[in-house]
């Protein structure tokens, strides 16, 4: 789960999707296919790889772990993502978007690596939009860099009045009836620390939505939106500033 302040952690500088970058390095791909495929399956495995964006599970077992390992992003022996290397290669904002997913270890290292790369691909699609939208809102509200950095403290009063409303409206977090568009929240912020990796028991955010009465009694729309954002962060267990870039 990437929070508003973490979106500011790095400059979005990724020029291509993670998989496209990996697949473009023919030598790495060739080496990995030799390890996980066979002469009899190579043609069909390449065809499967072409459909990667459509995968719902890894169709070429352990290929993604091998690719990530060859890039220096994943330590197979330790079953661990290399946070610093990832940050250096693809940017802090993309890494931070997925940092909880990259810490969500699994005994199945192949599945762990596959989920991580899927998240990094999603991050490159959405993290840049989140960053540019947030910075646009900050400029519109004449916010200083100091004020932006204070946003991580989840103070009682919003450090930059109406920043979250601007961000939420631009990202489409609410429908016309004021209900949450949960998918838009998730795409903007990334996987949660508390997210159940099996997805069998997804987090219930209903407690974060203020009642119509509470919203009407709030001092402003900005106020109740900020309260709902703080609830989102608390429910996701974020402890700002304490995450290391090195996954462990």
Could you say which DSSP state residue 54 is in? G
More confident call, 8 vs 154: 154
Angle of CA points 58, 64, 70, to nearest 5°: 170
In Å, how far are 39, 52, 81, 96, 118 from 17, measured between CA atoms?
28, 12, 18, 16, 10
- Residue 14's pLDDT is 36
The predicted pLDDT at position 248 comes to 45
Q: What is the pLDDT of residue 242?
A: 39
Print burial letters for 131-159: b (CB count within 10 Å at least 16), e (below 16): bebbeebbeeeebeeeebeebbebeeebb
pLDDT digits (tens, 9 = 90+) for 155-210: 889 989 999 999 999 999 999 999 999 999 988 887 776 665 445 566 778 889 99
**Residue found under tokens 């977090």:** 173
In this prediction, residue 191 carries a pLDDT of 76
| Tens-place pLDDT, residues 24-55 | 567 788 888 899 999 889 889 888 888 887 88
10 Å CB burial of residue 36 (0-12, 13-18, 19+) is middle
CA distances from 180 to 30, 93, 190, 193 (A): 45, 24, 16, 20
Handedness of CA 53, 59, 60, 64 (dihedral sign): positive
Query: Rounded distance, CA 49 to CA 59, Å?
Result: 8
pLDDT in tens, 115-154: 999 898 888 778 778 888 988 999 999 998 888 877 877 8
**Do 29 and 23 touch, CB atoms closer than 8 A?**
yes
Domain positions in the chain are 1-248
- Which two structure tokens, joined as six digits, stand for 93? 């904002």
Continuous segment of H or E residues that includes residue 20: helix 18-24
Which of 142-151's residues contact partners 24+ apart within 8 Å by CB, and which partners? 148/5, 148/8, 149/5, 149/8, 151/4, 151/5
Phi, psi of 180 (to 5 degrees): -70, 135
Which residues, other chains included, contact 196 with Cβ-Cβ below 8 Å and sequence gap of 6+? 202, 203
Q: Is pLDDT at 93 greater than 60 in this prediction?
A: yes
CA atoms within 13 Å, Cβ hemisphere of 148: 19
Q: What is the DSSP letter of 180?
A: B
Read off the tokens for 57: 């599970």
């Amino acid at each position: 789960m990437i929070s508003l302040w973490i979106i500011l952690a790095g400059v979005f500088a990724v020029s291509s999707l993670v998989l496209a970058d990996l697949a473009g390095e023919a030598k790495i791909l060739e080496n990995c296919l030799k390890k996980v495929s066979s002469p009899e399956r190579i043609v069909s495995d390449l065809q499967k790889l072409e459909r990667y964006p459509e995968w719902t599970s890894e169709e070429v077992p352990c290929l993604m772990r091998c690719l990530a390992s060859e890039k220096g992003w994943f330590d197979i022996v330790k079953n661990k993502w290399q946070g610093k290397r990832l940050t250096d290669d693809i940017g802090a904002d993309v890494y931070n978007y997925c940092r909880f997913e990259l810490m969500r270890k699994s005994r199945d290292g192949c599945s762990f690596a596959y989920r991580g790369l899927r998240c990094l691909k999603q991050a490159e699609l959405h993290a840049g939009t989140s960053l540019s939208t947030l910075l646009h809102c900050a400029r519109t509200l004449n916010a200083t860099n100091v004020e932006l950095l204070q946003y991580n403290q989840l103070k009682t009063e919003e450090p930059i009045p109406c920043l979250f409303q601007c961000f939420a409206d631009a990202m489409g977090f609410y429908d016309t009836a004021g209900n949450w568009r949960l998918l838009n929240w998730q795409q903007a912020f990334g996987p949660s620390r508390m997210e159940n990796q099996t997805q069998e028991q997804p987090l219930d955010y209903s407690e974060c939505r203020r009642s119509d009465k509470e919203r009407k009694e709030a001092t402003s729309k900005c106020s109740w939106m900020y309260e709902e954002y703080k609830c989102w962060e608390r429910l996701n267990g974020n402890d700002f500033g304490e995450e290391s870039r090195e996954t462990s």
